[in-house]
Structures are given as structure tokens and as C-alpha cells.
């Protein structure tokens, strides 16, 4: 009877170890993916104040001037 209980505890220990390994790895993966998503937005420089603004902005959030339309590659 003791043998069955021991193997059950062993599988739990294995699961805990797997979780301990997978949890930080998953977190790192999520952080990297999130950073890729936020940095994938193409930026350009405002003609009026020189601030970095996303290309999809029609008005500069820093100086309020309308930005010049640029050739933006269409997103698939
Ligand atoms: Zn500006």
C-alpha cells in the first residue's frame, strides 16, 4: 500500500518541479511577446516638434500639429 502512495507523491513532486520550471519560462515568454507587440508599432518623427509618434497618428500628441501623411506599408 505504501508503494502506491509513494509513487503518487513522486508524481506530485514531478508536477511541482515542472511548474517551477515552466512558470518563469512562461512569464519570460509573455514579457518578450508583450514587448514585441508594443515595439512593433512603427514610429516616426514629428515635423514640428521632433517627438517620436506612431505612424498611425494623424495629429501629434505633443504639439497638436497635423502630421504629414507618409507612405505606410499596408498591414496584411
Ligand atoms: Zn509634434
- The structural domains of the chain, with segments of one domain joined by +, span 2-42
What pLDDT does 63 receive? 94
pTM: 0.38
CA–centroid distance, 9 to ligand 1, in Å, is: 63
pLDDT digits (tens, 9 = 90+) for 13-60: 999 999 998 888 889 988 888 877 666 778 888 888 999 888 888 899
pLDDT higher at 76 or 31: 31
Q: What is the band of 5 on the pLDDT scale with cuts at 50, 70, 90?
A: low
CA–centroid distance, 64 to ligand 1, in Å, is: 6
Cβ atoms of 60 and 48 closer than 8 Å = yes
Residues 60 and 54: their CA atoms lie apart, in Å, by 9
Question: What residues are neighbours of ligand 1 (ion), with CB under 5 Å?
Answer: 46, 48-49, 51, 60, 62-63
Residues 7 and 18: their CA atoms lie apart, in Å, by 16
Instruction: Tell me what the mean pLDDT of segment 67-76 comes to.
Output: 62
What pLDDT does 3 receive? 54
CA–centroid distance, 41 to ligand 1, in Å, is: 18
Amino acid at each position: 500500500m505504501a508503494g502506491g502512495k509513494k509513487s503518487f507523491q513522486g508524481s506530485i513532486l514531478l508536477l511541482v518541479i515542472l511548474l517551477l520550471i515552466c512558470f518563469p519560462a512562461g512569464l519570460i515568454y509573455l514579457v518578450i511577446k508583450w514587448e514585441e507587440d508594443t515595439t512593433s508599432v512603427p514610429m516616426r518623427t514629428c515635423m514640428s516638434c521632433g517627438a517620436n509618434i506612431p505612424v498611425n497618428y494623424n495629429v501629434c500628441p505633443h504639439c497638436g500639429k497635423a502630421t504629414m501623411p507618409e507612405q505606410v506599408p499596408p498591414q496584411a
